[in-house]
Structure 1
Amino acid sequence: MSSAVLALVVGVSSPATAAQAADAPAVGAKSAYLIDSTGTVHLGKRETRRLPVASLVKVMTAYVVLREASLSDTITITAADVSHATSNGATTAALKKGERLTVRDLLYGLMLPSGADAANALARRYGPGKTAFVAKMNRTARSLGLADTRYTNPDGLPTPGSGGYSTAVDQVRLAQRALASDTFKTVVGSKVHKVAKSSVHRAHTWTNSNKLLTRADGVLGVKTGYTRAAGYCLLFAGERGGREVVGVLLGDQNERRFSTAEQLLDYAEEQIALG
């Protein structure tokens, strides 16, 4: 069987040898992409298709904040921050009006429990205002060469009449850039983050929604996401064969995304070993 035919059988659109394509794990997600730090593409499936990416949007939110803010900056949580998340049925960091938290802690609240309240507070501060912040997100996307990415908010919630989108390729490229930040890598690689109670904020314990961190060794992060339109998404990274391997699954099933990501990291390690 030719390598082209094998590629169609496994849903891989990027060039691959017959042996590689035959060994590639089955990918049920609508779109997928897997690359390592040398630029070797290990798998692609409809990787340039524009799709909603749900809370993977928060990767760009964190990236912009890290360029704009000092980690010691303090932000006061407003009623609007809280109601934005609760009224939209979004995941939250359980923030309360009047709390004052550092940017460092809010980044954990943004990325681990995927708090839309934290996203709203950060965007409000560093736009300033959400409209200006989203404009910064889109300018940053263009500066990074993410030509098939458009943001409409800082949290990935559905926006009636003006939906945002990205591609598997663009999401992996963004993750590679974001992971160059030690702070970002520390945040997304944390299984749990605790904020001790103080005179200006409540105690918080945030658990990372990325189950891959507890399923495999050498996992670096990165972010989960879900909306009805996007399905279950997972942007992931790990150290394999001395390289940083980054991949994404868009439009997958809940538990399957984690098992598939684990298989893809193992597959990349095998291919790296083969040279």
Structure 2
Amino acid sequence: MNLGLSPRRTVTVALTAGAVLVAPLVGTAQAASAPSVSAKGAFLLDTSSGKTLYSKAADTKRQMASTTKVMTATVVLDTKGLNLDKKITIKQAYRDYVVKKGASTSDLRTGDKVTVRQLLYATLLPSGCDAAYALADTFGTGKTASARTANFISKMNAKAKSLKMKNTSYDSFDGIPTKSKNYTTPRDASLLARHALKSSTFRTVVKSKSTKQKATASNGKSRTYTWYNTNKLLGSYKGAIGIKTGTASGSGPCLVFAATRNGKTVAGVILNDSKRFEDAAKIMDYAFKSNSAKTMKLQTLPKGAQKD
């Protein structure tokens, strides 16, 4: 479509349902067609400049399921004086919690000693709610587990405020709402993704398709944990570097994603989309001016891997 505009400018097109697509003009005066996605909400930004690259219902509040854990990890990683090698003893309460909630798990064993770094892998790859509980219990303050996790959640909300995530609220450390006040918007969640990617530890963890981690078992011997990343874009979409999946009945399938090509990194969010991986690829193709989404073949998760 010839828009009669000069190169290097952008055009904003108003769509129905409050969607706005920001289209980078290609070549001399040609605009790439903005992709249509089935997501209820979507957003993409350039992590370097913060520029909006794609937007659909960007400021509509929606549940985010386990993509909540991006903030869980961020609060931990932003802790002053953090020791990633500090060992945490796994409590039976963490295992009981995932059984009670029917939640995704990293199958941490009671009495095992695992490091903070390992808990980050366990939280972000298999989406372990037991691992997220362990982090919240460790990095929150208070005399009881309930008090500590409540304090940790308050830190999540404080971090959201500091990042100018104006339409986000956390009432959970793992995405399982406790008071129906666990929500975000595509724009807000993209701001968080941009911030989280500044951490080299975070980047290393979320780009891992799988990991094997040795921990000290409760009997003093060594135990090896194997965790697989639930993000099917890794190894499927060229340049994909993360970030986190999430699925629940109230939220639908969600995805926080990022990729780097030719030195340009983009990060985005899709909320409530049964085709989240394919649509994320389409949005990133739009930013990278490529068409790899059409031929992309999604990775199949290994048998026994968690689904999220």
TM-score in terms of structure 2 length:
0.81
| 1:13 maps to 2:12 | no
SS in 2 for 1:122: helix
Instruction: Determine which of 174, 177, 196 is the counterpart of 2:214.
Output: 196
1:60 is the counterpart of 2:71: yes
Deviates more, 1:260-269 or 1:173-182: 260-269
**Structure 1: stretches of 5+ with no match in the other structure:** none
Which residue in the other structure is 2:293 paired with? none
Match of 1:29 in 2: 39
State how far apart, in whole Å, the 2-side matches of 1:146 and 1:187 are.
24
Tell me the distance in 1 between the aligned counterparts of 2:127 and 2:224: 17
- Could you tell me how far apart the structure 1 residues matched to 2:263 and 2:138 are? 39
Q: CA deviation at 1:14?
A: 4.3
- Name the larger-Rg structure: 2
**What secondary structure sits across from 2:88 in the alignment?**
strand
1:1-275 aligned at under 5 Å gives the runs 7-8=14-15, 12-16=19-23, 20=31, 23-36=33-46, 37-68=48-79, 69-128=82-141, 129-159=148-178, 161-196=179-214, 198=216, 199=220, 202-253=223-274, 256-270=275-289
Amino acid in structure 1 at the alignment position of 2:132? A
> What is the aligned length?
266
Q: 2-side partners of 1:243 and 1:99: how far apart?
A: 41
Aligned partners of 1:197 and 1:203 also within 8 Å: yes
Partners of 1:103 and 1:226 in 2: CA distance: 25
Q: Which amino acid aligns with 1:178?
A: A
More helix by share: 1
- Return the TM-score normalized by structure 1: 0.90
Aligned-residue identity in percent: 43
Q: Where does structure 2 lack aligned partners over 5 or more consecutive residues?
A: 4-10, 142-147, 291-308
Q: CA deviation at 1:46?
A: 0.3
Instruction: State the 1:195 CA deviation.
Output: 1.3
How far is 1:200 from its partner?
5.6
* Change beyond 3 A, Cα 1:153–1:201: farther
Q: 1:11 to 1:258 in 2, by over 3 A?
A: farther
Q: 1:137 to 1:200 in 2, by over 3 A?
A: farther
Aligned-pair distance for 1:201?
5.5
Relative distance call for 1:216 and 1:202 in structure 2 (3 A) is: same
Deviation (angstroms), 1:163: 2.5
Task: Label 1:80 to 1:92 Cα distance change in 2 as closer, same or farther (>3 A).
Answer: same
Point out the structure with the larger strand share: 2
Tell me the distance in 2 between the aligned counterparts of 1:17 and 1:184.
Answer: 29
